Structure 1
Amino acid sequence: MKQAIVARTDIGMGQGKLAAQVAHASLSAYEKADDRTRSKWKGGGQKKVVLKANSERTLYELSEIADQEGIPNAIIRDAGHTQLEPGTVTALAVGPDEESLVDRVTGDLSLY
């Protein structure tokens, strides 16, 4: 079991902002998973990787693929209280789900 969080590199998020957006994405996608998947992922150590994307478009394309594969996913938009404009798309979480399924969506991306 695995979850991949894909964060944008083209919007200049600071480290704290990046950490917050990754956390939002992780939890949001987790909440969309069914009980069996959540339990299996939690019991297996909650494996996560954080990956890079260079555009908002990339996040939407990956989300569409995840939807087609039936993988829980969540796109995150910033509230705009600090560094970014309200509604800025910052991150996408794919999974938790079977590692091979998550890798079908995000396997070509680089680690953050």
Structure 2
Amino acid sequence: MCIILRMDLGMSTGKLIAQAAHAAVGASELGKKENHKAWRSWRDEGAKKVALEAESLEELEELQRKADDLYIVNLIIQDAGHTEVPAGTVTALGLGPDRSDLLDKVTGSLPLIK
């Protein structure tokens, strides 16, 4: 599973963590329904998660298009707007769970969050 967070929004560390959690839980639940075989394999192998940076909404949307083209389960996260960003702001993208080699076709050039 890959969790891709928008770094251009200036979210605090705590906000980034919360958005990453929304992406991970949401993508896992969706993956369990839509690609159960990949989800079970991911879970049984330790439920690996990788957190990556995106620099803009446009980049996140392009990554989602690539995932859709490869039939990778994905989920866009929109914030409720209670704290740091306006309601409806797209903050993150959850990809997978799926095979690492397939996810790499979408995320291969993205930097890890540090």
Q: TM-score range by the shorter chain?
A: over 0.9
Q: Secondary structure at the match of 2:96?
A: strand
Equivalent positions of 1:32-47 (< 5 A) are 32-33=30-31, 34-47=35-48
Provide Cα deviations, 1:1-30, integer angstroms capped at 9, x if missing partner: xx1111011101111110010011111111
From 2, 7, 17, the equivalent of 1:4 is 2
CA distance in 1, matches of 2:58, 2:49: 22
1:18 matched to 2:21: no
- Deviating above 3 A after TM superposition, structure 1's stretches of 4 or more consecutive aligned residues are none
**TM-score (norm. length: structure 2):** 0.93
* Greater share of strand: 1
CA distance in 2, matches of 1:68, 1:26: 21
**TM-score (norm. length: structure 1):** 0.95
Letter in 2 for 1:63: Q
Q: CA RMSD in A?
A: 0.8
1:109 Cα offset (Å)? 0.3
Q: How many residues matched?
A: 110
